Amino acid sequence: MDNILDILKKVGAILPGHFVGVSGKHFNIYITKDALFPHVLEVEKVCQMFAEKNKNFEIDVVAAPALGGIILAQGTAYALSKIKGKEILAVFTEKTGDGDQVFTRGYNKYVNGKNILVLEDLTTTGGSVLKVIASVKKAGGNVVAVSVMVNKSPKVVTSELFGVPLRALGELEVENYNTKDCPLCKKNIPMNTEFGHGKKFLENK
């Protein structure tokens, strides 16, 4: 079985350097999940890994936040359908103007009364997953587990945080620094402006 971090390295999705996140914190490793999605055979492997990791749960529907989660939810639901011999559906939430994650397009009707596996690509704080869980509950669904591709904060993002079992395909702990304490800044390591929020940080400096 392939290792998730090996797959991400192979497609060039794990980048070393000096980055700024949406929170404004600095870090030295960036995972660009968008580098994975063009490689359909690797995506298929990842979805198979998700399915194998969660096959012992009673699952009717896989739900994930858009955009990247759509691809992973579709592939995982397909792989689980093959394993379990029944149709497992895939739905997604979309981000609202105030940053919430909600079901649109009438997808809440597929969630009502069903057992849901919530999927996510990367977790740093677990905030998006918590919003999806809340939307599932609001729609009358039962979250049986959460599964993530890479957990970047294994000390913070846990089963206890979500209130259901958490299954990560891999962990890659990424240290975050405040600007004034950032060792990368102190070493004058150039900030990456292609990925993350480095460009905006430099513009506002």
Query: Is 178 within a domain?
Result: yes
Mean model confidence pLDDT for the chain: 94
Using 50, 70 and 90 to split pLDDT, how confident is the model at 63?
A: very high
pLDDT at 1: 54
pLDDT at 36: 97
pLDDT at 174: 87
Tell me which residue range forms the domain holding 193.
Answer: 4-198
pLDDT at 201: 87
Inform me whether the pLDDT recorded for 21 exceeds 90.
no
Query: Is 94 within a domain?
Result: yes
Query: Is 203 within a domain?
Result: no
Question: Which own/partner pairs from 67-73 qualify as long-range (CB within 8 Å, at least 24 positions apart)?
Answer: 68/33, 68/34, 68/37, 68/121, 69/119, 69/120, 69/121, 71/37, 71/43, 72/43, 72/46, 72/47, 72/119, 72/121, 72/149, 73/119
Inform me whether the pLDDT recorded for 115 exceeds 90.
yes
Per residue in 128-179, pLDDT (tens digit) is 999 999 999 999 999 999 999 999 999 999 999 999 999 999 999 988 899 9
The predicted model gives 86-106 an average pLDDT of: 95
Query: Is 29 within a domain?
Result: yes
pLDDT at 50: 98
Put the strands of the sheet holding 142-151 in their side by side order. Answer: 101-103, 89-95, 61-65, 115-123, 142-151, 166-171
| Number of domains present in the structure of the chain | 1
pLDDT at 31: 93
The predicted model gives 112-120 an average pLDDT of: 98
pLDDT at 124: 84
Query: Is 37 within a domain?
Result: yes
Query: Is 28 within a domain?
Result: yes
pLDDT at 101: 94
Inform me whether the pLDDT recorded for 22 exceeds 80.
no
CATH of the domain at 90: 3.40.50.2020
pLDDT at 24: 84
Query: Is 205 within a domain?
Result: no
Inform me whether the pLDDT recorded for 112 exceeds 80.
yes
Query: Is 132 within a domain?
Result: yes
Inform me whether the pLDDT recorded for 23 exceeds 90.
no
Q: Let me know: does 75 contact 44? Beta carbons within 8 Å.
A: yes
